[in-house]
Structure 1
Amino acid sequence: MSTVRAPRLGLRTNLAQFLLLVAINALVGGMLGQERIVLPLLAEQTFHLTAYTSALTFILAFGAVKAATNFFAGTWSDRYGRKPVLVAGWLIGLPVPLLLIWAPNWGWVIAANVLLGMNQGLTWSTTVIMKIDLVGPARRGLAMGLNEAAGYVAVAATAMATGYLAAEYGLRPAPFLLGAAFAALGLGLSTLAVRETRGHAHHEAGRTEHQGMTTRQVFTLTSFKEPALSSASQAGLVNNLNDGLAWGLFPILFATQHLSLARIGLLGALYPAVWGFAQLATGALSDRWGRKWLITAGMLLQAVALALVAAGNSFGQWLVAVSLLGLGTAMVYPTLLATIGDVAHPAWRARSVGVYRLWRDGGFAVGALLAGILADLWGIPVAVWTVAALTAASGLIAAARMYETHPRRNR
C-alpha cells in the first residue's frame, strides 16, 4: 500500500521550484517595466495630456485594480489553489502590450492598465505566496529578497531597454513587443512547469484554532488591530505612494531640464535596479538583524532621497537621489513581506498577504491622485516634497508601533 509523502519545507529542498518561481516573477516585473519610461512620455507627446492629473490616470487605474486583485488573489489561492490563480493572471496579461501598441486614444491605455493591474495582482501575489509556502519560517527574508529582486531587476532592465528602443525606433510599437514576449513565456512556464504549493502551507499549519479565521477577521487584524501587521500595511501603502510619484512624474520632471531620452531612461531604470539588486542583501539581512529597524531606516532613507530629487536640478544630483531611493526601498520591500509571513498563521497567511498587498498597491492609486493634484496646483517639486514628508512620517509610525517579528530575534 503506497503512502502520500508529506510536503517538505525549506529553500534547498524546494530549490528547483523556487528558482522557477523567481524566473516567473522576473517576467511579471518585465510586464510592469515596459511602461515605466514610455507611458508618461506617451501621455505628454502622443496624446497631448497637459494636466498631470489626467496623465497619471493610468497609474490610478493600475493601482486601484491591482490593490483589489491582490486581496482576491490571497482568498482564491486558499480556496482554489495557487497555480490556477497564477495561470489566470497570465491569461489576463496577454492583451496588454497589444492594447498599448494599437491604442488610438487614452481610454485604450486606461483599459490596458486595468488588465495590467489584474495581471500583476494575480501573478505577483501568487508567486510571493508560493515562495513563502515552500521555504518555511527560517528563510523568509531571503526568499522575499530573491523574489522582489527578480521582479524589480526585471522592471529596471525592461525600463532601460524600452528607453533605448523608444529613442531608436519611437515610442510605439517596439518597446511593447518585449511585454508581448514576457506574457507568452510566463503563461507557458506557469501552465507547464509550476507545481501547486498549497499543500506545503497546510502541512506547516497543522491542526490549530487559527484555521477558523474568517476573511473579515483576517482583514481587520492585518489592516488595523495587530500592531506589526497594520504597521507593515501602512508602510507598504506609503512606499508605493512614493513609487507611484516616481513612476508618473520623475520622467516628466527630468524632461523639463532637457535631459535626453537615454538619460531619462537611465534614471528611470537605476531606481528599480538598485532596489532590485540590493534586495538580494536586505532580505537576508532582515533574517539576521530583524525586521523593525530595517523597515524604519528604509522609510527614512526614502524620505531623504525624495527631498534630494525635489531640490535637484542636474543629472548628477538626480543620479545620487534615485540610487538612495532604490536602496531605501530595498530595505523595506522584502522585509515587509517577511513580517507578514512571520506573524500570519499558515492557515490564513495567503489572505493576510493579499490584504497587505491591497493596502500596499493602493498606494499607487493614492500616489497618482495626490501627486497629480499637487503638481497641477503648485508644480512637481511641491508634490515630491509632500510625499517625502509623508514617507518620513510613515517610518516614525513604524518605529513607534511595530515590534520585532523575526522568530529568532524576538525571543
Structure 2
Amino acid sequence: MKNGDTPQRLTHDTTQYVILLILTLFIGWFLGIERVLVPAMANDIYHISSYLYILSFLAAFGFTKSVLNLVSGKISDDIGRKKLLLIGWLVAIPVPFIFYFSTSWNMIVLANIGVGVNQAFAWTMTVTAGLDLSRSTSRGLTVGLNEAAGYIGQATAGIITGYMAASYGLRGASFLFGIVVVIVAIGTTALTIRETVGFTKSEELGINQAGSSVSFIKMFTDTSWSNRLLFSYSQAGLFEKFVDVVFWGLMPLYLLSLHFSLFTIAVLVGIYQITWGVVQIITGRLSDHIDRNVLIITGFWIDSTAMVGFVFFHGIVIIALLSFLAGLGMAFLYPVLIAAVNDKVKPSERGTRLGIYRLWRDSGYGFGAIFVGILASGLNVRDVFIGVASLMAISGGIVMVVCWINHHKSLVP
C-alpha cells in the first residue's frame, strides 16, 4: 500500500468520482457559451471596435475567478467541498437571463463576474474533491480526467451554441443552452454529491504528516514566491492563460476578420479545446510515471511554436493544424501543473494551497486580457501572437532553470 492510500481510499466511491466528472462537463458547457457567442455579440450586436474594451469581459471573469479561487480553497478546507459547489451553481442562475436581456456591453461584463464566481466555486471544488478521492499514484490522471471533462465541455458547447445561433440568434442560443445546464447541474449537485473533505484527514494519518498547522500567510508566501519550485509553477500557471485568452477573446474576432462563418470559427476553436481536453488524459497519467517538469516545459515550447505559426499562415487547414498544436501544448502543461503543486503540499492544506496556485493561474485571464487588448488595439493582431509566444518561451524557461537549480542543489552533500 502506498503512503497516503488508506483502505478507505483504496475502496473509494467510483460513482462519486464519475458524478464529479459529469458536473465538470456541465461546468465546461456553461463556460463554453462564452467561447464563441460572447465575442460575436461584441462584434454583431454592440458593434465594439476596441479590442481592449471587448476583452474587458474576460478580465472581469479572470480577476473574479482568481480571487475567489483563493477564498473557495480556504473555505472548503474548513466547511467542505459540496456546499461551495452548490453555491457556485446557484450564483450562475442569473447569467443566462443577463445574456438574453442585456442592453449594453457593460451588462455582459457584469454577467462575467457571475461566471467567474461559478467557475471559482464549482470547478475548484470538483478538482479538489477528485483529488480527495484519488490514490497518491494517480493524481496526474485525476487532474487530467477532470480538466478533460471541462474542456471537452467547452469545445462541444461552443460548437452546439454556434450551430444554435443560426436558428435562435446569439442571445437565444446563450439563454436556452445556459439555463438548461444550470438547472440540471443544481439538481445533480444537491441530490447526488457527497462530502469528500474527510478523506484528507485519513490521508494525513496514513502518511504521518499531521502536525502543527501553518498560517495562511505562510502558505500564501510559500506558494507564491518563497519556495522556488512553487513560484515557478505559479508564474507558469499565470502565463499559460495568455494562450487561452487568445483563443477565447481574440481568435473568434480574428477569424471573423478573415471572413470565416461563425460555425467554422466554433469548429476551429473547438479543435484547440478538444485536443487539450482529450490528450490531457494521457499526459496527466504519463506525469504519474515520469518527471512532471519535463511535460510542463515541453508544453510551453509547443504553445510558443503554435503562436508563431499564426503569424505566417492563414489558410483554414493550417489554422486547424496550429489550433491542434496549441491544444497539444496545453494538454502537456495544464493538468500537470496542478498535479505538480499538489505533490508539494500537505493533504489538509490541499484546498488552500491549490486555491493560491489557482489565484495566480486564473489571474492570467485578467492580465492576459489587458496585455492582448493593448497589443491588438495599439499594434495589430499578429503582434499579439508574437508577444504571447515570447512570454510562453520565457515562462517555460523559468521552470526549466528552477528545476535545473533544484536538481544540482540536491546533488550537493
TM-score scaled by length of structure 2? 0.94
CA distance in 2, matches of 1:178, 1:7: 42
- Say whether the 8 Å CA contact 1:210–1:347 is kept in structure 2: no
Query: How far did 1:404 drift?
Result: 12
Alignment of 1:85-124 (within 5 A): 85-124=84-123
Alignment of 1:289-308 (within 5 A): 289-308=290-309
Runs of at least 5 residues in structure 2 that lack an aligned partner in the other structure: 1-5, 407-413
> Could you say if the C-alpha distance between residues 58 and 194 of structure 1 is closer, same or farther in structure 2, counting changes exceeding 3 Å?
same
- Say whether the 8 Å CA contact 2:96–2:174 is kept in structure 1: no
Query: How far did 1:211 drift?
Result: 4.4
Which residue is 1:180 aligned to? Answer: 179
CA distance in 2, matches of 1:216, 1:7: 34
CA distance in 1, matches of 2:296, 2:405: 11
CA distance in 1, matches of 2:45, 2:297: 41
- Say whether the 8 Å CA contact 2:302–2:329 is kept in structure 1: yes
Alignment of 1:121-270 (within 5 A): 121-206=120-205, 208=209, 210-270=211-271
> Could you say if the C-alpha distance between residues 378 and 43 of structure 1 is closer, same or farther in structure 2, counting changes exceeding 3 Å?
same
Runs of at least 5 residues in structure 1 that lack an aligned partner in the other structure: 1-5, 406-411
- Say whether the 8 Å CA contact 2:204–2:210 is kept in structure 1: no
Which residue is 2:362 aligned to? Answer: 361
Q: In the alignment, residue 289 of structure 1 is paired with which amino acid? A: I
Which deviates more, 59-68 or 309-318? 309-318
Which residue is 1:59 aligned to? Answer: 58
- Say whether the 8 Å CA contact 2:33–2:157 is kept in structure 1: yes
Which residue is 1:337 aligned to? Answer: 338
Which deviates more, 233-242 or 222-231? 222-231
CA distance in 1, matches of 2:196, 2:220: 23
Query: How far did 1:311 drift?
Result: 2.0
CA distance in 2, matches of 1:168, 1:367: 33
Which deviates more, 355-364 or 181-190? 181-190
In angstroms, what is the RMSD of aligned CA positions?
A: 1.7
- Say whether the 8 Å CA contact 1:240–1:361 is kept in structure 2: yes
CA distance in 1, matches of 2:232, 2:202: 28
- Say whether the 8 Å CA contact 2:238–2:361 is kept in structure 1: yes
TM-score scaled by length of structure 1? 0.94
Query: How far did 1:384 drift?
Result: 1.5
- Say whether the 8 Å CA contact 1:28–1:124 is kept in structure 2: yes
> Could you say if the C-alpha distance between residues 210 and 300 of structure 1 is closer, same or farther in structure 2, counting changes exceeding 3 Å?
farther
CA distance in 1, matches of 2:261, 2:319: 14
- Say whether the 8 Å CA contact 2:99–2:174 is kept in structure 1: no
- Aligned identity (percent) is 36
Which residue is 1:285 aligned to? Answer: 286
CA distance in 1, matches of 2:219, 2:54: 36
The 3-state SS of whatever aligns with 2:348 is coil
CA distance in 2, matches of 1:340, 1:32: 25
The 3-state SS of whatever aligns with 1:138 is helix
- Say whether the 8 Å CA contact 1:53–1:373 is kept in structure 2: yes
- Say whether the 8 Å CA contact 1:240–1:363 is kept in structure 2: yes
Question: Matched residue pairs, number?
Answer: 400
